Amino acid sequence: MPAEPGPVPAGGPRPCPPPGDFHSEQQYQQQKFSHQSSGPPYRKDQYFPREQNRGERGRGRGGWQGGHQSASEEIPRYITVSTFAQARAAEMKAMLKAVTQKSSNSLVFQTLPRQMRRRAMSHNIKRLPRRLQEIARKEAEKAVHQKKEQSKTKCRKARRRHVNLVAEFNRRQRKNIWLETHIWHAKRFHMVKKWGYCLGNSPTEKCYRACYRAMTNHCLLQDLSYYCCLELTGKENELLKQLARICSIDTGLTFRVAHCLSGRFQGSLNLYRADRYPEDALGPVTFIWKPRDGSENRQLWIWMHPALKQDILNELKEIFQCSEPEKVYIPEPATTSAQEEEQMDVVLSLGKKRKKKDKEGEKAVPVKKIIGDGTRDPLQSYSWISQTTGVVISDRTMEIIRYRLIGPLSHCVLTETLKAASLQTMADSESELNNWWVENCKDSEKVSLHQRQTAIFELLEGISSPSEMPPGTILGLTVGDPRVNLPKKKRKTMPDPEKYQDNDKVRQLYLEGVPVECAHSFIWDQDICKNVTENKISEQDLNQMRAQLLVPGSQLDLGPCESKIPILLVQQPGKMAGEDRPGWGSGWDIYLPKGWGMAFWIPFIYRGVRVGGLQEAANHSEYQRTPHTPNDFPDCPAGMQFAKELEATLLEKFKRRPPAKRANYIKLGTLSPFICPWEQLTKNWEGRMNASEEFICPSPPHAENCATEGNGFCDPEPEVAKEASPETGEVEETMEITSTEGAIKREDDPGSQNFGERDEALTRGFVVLRSKKLLMQVAAWCYPTSGKDRRIRLISRLGQKEMTEDVFLPILMRYPRALVWVSLSLLRKGNPELHAMICIPTEDDLLHLSKDKLFCGPQEPKHRDIFKKKKKKKMEKEEEKDNVEALESDSPSVLDEETTEEHEDLILGLWPDTLPDVTSHCSRTLLGYVTRGDFSLAAGCGEALGFVSLTGLLYMLHGQPADKKGLVLLRTPASLQYRFARLTIEV
């Protein structure tokens, strides 16, 4: 197809030859080259002809030339029709696609010019131009499918309606269970999600000292409803026979103890896997037996922390052979999926405009509030039966509410808040309210029992502190609705001096406790609890009754309509071990049926109690110097899991800081700042005991052989090195070589361990000593004394033996790798922290302390960080590797891969997973670690709780002078300063 040739400007280049003419093309290029090379090198006319204007200079292809070309090429005379048509067709297709397909997020009517837009276009498609109506229709259909949930777009007034709130709260409880007091806590506490619950951690206000004063002088309230309850029902002999396998009389009480078996007192013990004591601990529990009622079957409640529930439940099902579920439990308060969909449809419709004839959604299905076990999976079984023994295990978690009142005036709060239920002989024919109470009031024996329980409950006003009662006393009672006698204003409850009379009844209550029959409560009957929960008077009805009173603010009398609630009161003894502050932290636990949580919570608040969370519970156990669950149980699975989570949290927090703004624990001589290596600690002490006869000829730990800035690390202790190998030089050379590989480790030391395997060995290989007899023996040996003969008299008074080889060597043979729970009190200033190291002082340290009473303690020499250079080498190799990859696409060499794998776990300032001997790493021999420590408001000094190696403790006590028994050194992970502390074991 010919094309019209374009005009060629005068003086311009010669026209292009036709395509396909090879010789003409070659002649043309030669002429062009010869034309460009003639004349001066930088002439202006060489590149731009005289007739070409400035606007045509520098243009690109397609008729516009730039660079060194002289002018635009001429339009070709011929083109190929097929190629030209295909190119134009592709361009037209792309243009049509760009026109029809919307590229922006704006709607159709928003693409119109402003003068053509109308407000009605957004909801009326016919207002749009006809060419855009089809596109708008598609957008509307797409928006219907992608529309967000209706509740998100509701106004605040609609969202705050009661039915919508309940539905939203039920939805939010599916993942983490809420307690009945959750809303109250969420407004006043920092909430945390733990163990499948949403719990209050600490109050938002500053009340650390106020909570301590409440525990010491008045009353502190805690919601312990998240604790789990397992109910065992069966014959007494079958229950005791199997339960004896998971506990030991060596640790104290068992399920068979007489005063607990009768139901008068609550017991506490530590559980183990069947026939595995003292290994494989499961954790601490408390238990309550239902008093005998003439039936051959007995009921037993076992209360435990939620972190321990699954392990204990599996062990109970295994020993009782309860593999078959008795029934699938479907709780009534919980809603099924079909009901939920129906209720959500109603809720969504409630958010829209209502017609006047629909009065506030009368047709709406009321949404039930999830209480108790409503958050459970309806298809999961919660009751198991044994076909061989007939024992039934029931999970009653969240079925019983449990509150704890701590403080010397907790009994005053109880007696003022709760009033015994009045007798009732006439039932309400319209409802089932109090039908069970009417039936029991017709029985004269039960009426007499209720009167006796009421008399004992009223006697509690005459005691000065709950610690005066026998430990674990149980009192059953039936009370009226505590919302009826709510005070007008919040005030602090104080004791009445007139009721503090030294009468015979109070004295008898001190000595004998509550009789067995008075420990009975109707809360053991699940049918009665269900009736009480379902027939509770709502707050709305109660407020309407208050509004109808003739005298506003007067006492509300419900008469026979008042609810009757069975409860159980259990005394908590407080601090029982040790000589200081006996009975501190005592109080009462109150057990209620589900659904009555806030009905009892608000009246307690109106009596001036303080409310505490998880942090206050930890402080309560710390001041009592008792282990806290699950933090202080390193030999059970829950304690190991807690240690892992704590290590991950602290390590993440450590990594967030730059290296210059965080501690270098390698230079500080801290091997494990975020977790306590109990397994390796006990292994190292066992290796030291097996390597030499240290207990016969003890040698003081070395104090001057530790490394400073310019030297290497500590040499092994003389006795260990002598036993390890006669060629001491080879041992030192091996340590030197191993240290260059990433850790200092003696190859012949059985105590050293690859700490990368500690996840599987944290609960194996070591045990926690809980034998009461042995603990009392060791406690007497480390008892602080100041006189020469006083220790002998003290040991003889306690009935314990003197510390000789014949006495403590059998203990070491039986428990070679055991930990002992100890409490420490600093002699001078200092504040112990988490994971602080407990060390053995040298003879020079004790001598210096004797000469200078103000001597706080020695100081650890600074260590050398041998991993710092390796970290730098790693960074340099990574930079070189990046540069090489940028230049060449080849894979890295095998040597670089090995080096990367070797140092990929290096973190600046932290030891790798492979740790050396933890006992001899520093200048003072390591004895144990602190699990909890802080300044004690009760003692007025720094106090700490932790575990020490039993072998190391006996080694220290055997080598210490008589007047310095029990003195140890404490050092926090981020400090080089040691401080003296007094070690005691409280049993």
Indicate if the pLDDT at residue 69 is higher than 60.
no
Cis peptide before 630, with omega less than 30 degrees from 0?
A: yes
Looking at residue 166, its pLDDT comes to 85
Percentage above 90 pLDDT, the chain = 33
> pLDDT tens digit string along 886-913?
555 544 444 444 444 444 567 888 888 7
pLDDT higher than 60, residue 70: no
User: And the tokens for 340?
Assistant: 């939920």
Whole-Å CA distances, 163 to 153, 350, 393, 500: 16, 9, 36, 50
Distance of CA 542 to CAs 54, 222, 371, 479, 570, Å? 95, 26, 20, 17, 30
Distance CA 658, CA 779 (A): 45
pTM for this predicted structure: 0.73
Closest to 665 in 3D by CA, of 649, 654, 652, 677 = 654
Identity of the amino acid at 325:
P
Mean pLDDT of 778-783: 84
CA distances from 295 to 108, 236, 259, 266, 290 (A): 80, 10, 19, 21, 11
Cα–Cα distance measured from residue 620 to residue 937, given in angstroms and rounded to the nearest whole number: 11
For residue 483, with 0-12 CB atoms within 10 Å meaning exposed, 13-18 middle and 19 or more buried, which class applies?
buried
The answer to whether 195 and 306 are in contact (CB under 8 A) is yes
| Residue 399, both tokens | 């079925």
Alpha carbon distance 651, 282 (integer Å): 27
Q: Which residue has the higher pLDDT, 701 or 591?
A: 591
DSSP SS3 for 257: coil
pLDDT value at residue 793 = 47
pLDDT at 900: 46
Classify strands 818-826 and 941-949 as parallel, antiparallel or unpaired: antiparallel
State the Cα–Cα distance between residues 110 and 104, nearest whole angstrom: 10
Residue 244: pLDDT above 60? yes
State mean pLDDT over 659-675. 90
Pairing of β 228-235 and β 392-395: antiparallel
Q: Where are the beta strands (DSSP E) in 555-618?
A: 564-572, 587-593, 610-611
pLDDT band at 805 (very low <50, low <70, confident <90, very high): confident
Give the C-alpha separation, 745 to 730, whole Å. Answer: 13
Contacts of 433 (CB under 8 A, 6+ apart): 427, 535, 561, 563
pLDDT of residue 32: 45
Q: Which residue from 970, 698, 955, 964 is spatially nearest to 846, judged by alpha carbons?
A: 964
How does strand 197-203 pair with strand 177-178? parallel
Q: Provide the pLDDT for residue 886.
A: 57
Strands 818-826 and 767-768: parallel
CB distance 534 to 463 below 8 Å: no
E runs forming strands in 792-852: 818-826, 837-839
Q: What 3-state DSSP class applies to 531? A: helix
Q: Tell which phi-psi region holds residue 673, choosing left (phi > 0), alpha (psi between -120 and 50) or beta.
A: alpha
Q: Is the dihedral angle over the CA atoms 656, 659, 662, 666 positive or is it negative? A: positive
Residue 400 pLDDT > 50, yes or no? Answer: yes
Amino acid 376: pLDDT: 62
* pLDDT number for residue 269: 93
Lowest mean pLDDT across 111-115, 833-837, 928-932: 111-115
Of 78-87, 351-360, 620-629, 764-773, which gets the smallest average pLDDT?
Answer: 351-360
pLDDT band at 502 (very low <50, low <70, confident <90, very high): low
Please state the rounded mean pLDDT for residues 813-826: 91
Contacting residues for 355 by C-beta, under 8 A, at least 6 apart: none
Average pLDDT of the chain is: 77
What confidence score (pLDDT) does residue 214 get?
A: 93
The answer on pLDDT for 344 being more than 50 is no
Read off the pLDDT band of 16 (50, 70, 90). Answer: very low
Q: Render pLDDT for 674-696 as a digit per residue (tens, 0 to 9).
A: 999 999 999 999 888 887 654 54
- Best-predicted range by mean pLDDT among 281-295, 707-721, 757-771? 281-295
- What would the two tokens of residue 138 be? 């598609």
Question: For residue 849, is pLDDT > 80?
Answer: yes
* Amino acid 68: pLDDT: 46
Question: pLDDT digits over 438-461, tens only?
Answer: 888 888 888 899 999 998 898 888
Tell me if residue 299 falls in helix, strand or coil.
strand
Predicted local confidence at residue 903, as pLDDT? 47
Which residues fall within 8 angstroms of residue 52, CB to CB, at 6 or more apart? 9, 71
Q: 390's torsion region: left (phi>0), alpha (psi -120 to 50) or beta?
A: left
Give CA–CA dist 483/597, Å, rounded: 12
In the prediction, which pLDDT does 504 show?
Answer: 77
Does residue 220 have a pLDDT over 70?
yes
Q: What is the pLDDT of residue 378?
A: 60
Q: Which residues contact 848 (CB under 8 A, 6 or more apart)?
A: 855, 858
User: Which of the 8 DSSP states describes residue 853?
Assistant: T
In whole angstroms, give the CA distance from residue 120 to residue 144. 19
Sequence length of the chain is: 987
Q: Reduce the DSSP state of residue 188 to 3 states and report it.
A: coil
Predicted pLDDT at 600: 93
Q: Dihedral, CA atoms, 904, 908, 914, 920, nearest 10 degrees?
A: 170
pLDDT tens across 738-759, in order? 333 333 333 334 343 433 343 4
pLDDT at 729 over 60: no
Whether 129 has a pLDDT exceeding 80, the answer reads: yes
For residue 309, the number of C-alpha atoms closer than 13 Å in the C-beta half-sphere is: 19
The 10s digit of each residue's pLDDT in 602-645 is: 999 999 999 999 999 999 999 999 999 999 999 999 999 999 99
Q: Looking at the predicted structure, is the pLDDT value of residue 732 above 60?
A: no
* Overall average pLDDT of the 508-531 stretch: 88
With tokens 């109660």, the residue in question is: 542
Q: Integer distance in angstroms from the first to the last C-alpha of the chain?
A: 111
* Helix, strand, coil abundance in the chain, percent, nearest 5: 40, 15, 45
Band of pLDDT at residue 724, cut at 50, 70 and 90 = very low
581: tokens are 């502050």
Greater confidence (215 vs 511) lies with 215
| pLDDT at 786 (0 to 100) | 59
CA angle 560–562–566, rounded 5-degree value: 115
What was the pLDDT predicted at 311?
A: 92
What's the token pair of residue 897? 């891969």
Looking at the DSSP bridge assignments, the partners of residue 926 are: 839
Dihedral of the alpha carbons of 962, 966, 971, 977, in degrees to the nearest 10:
-30
How sure is the predictor about 252, in pLDDT bands with cuts at 50, 70 and 90?
Answer: confident
What confidence tier does 40 reach under pLDDT thresholds 50, 70, 90?
Answer: very low
In the predicted structure, residue 584 carries a pLDDT above the cut 70 = yes
CA within 13 Å, CB half, 772: 11
pLDDT at 709: 39
Averaged over 16-35, what is the pLDDT? Answer: 47
Q: Which of 331, 319, 334 is nearest to 393 (CA)?
A: 319
At residue 939, what are phi and psi to the nearest 5 degrees?
-95, -20
- Would you place residue 185 in the very low, low, confident or very high pLDDT band (cuts 50, 70, 90)? very high
- What is the reported pLDDT for 424? 79
Percent of the chain with pLDDT over 70: 72
Per-residue pLDDT, 430: 64
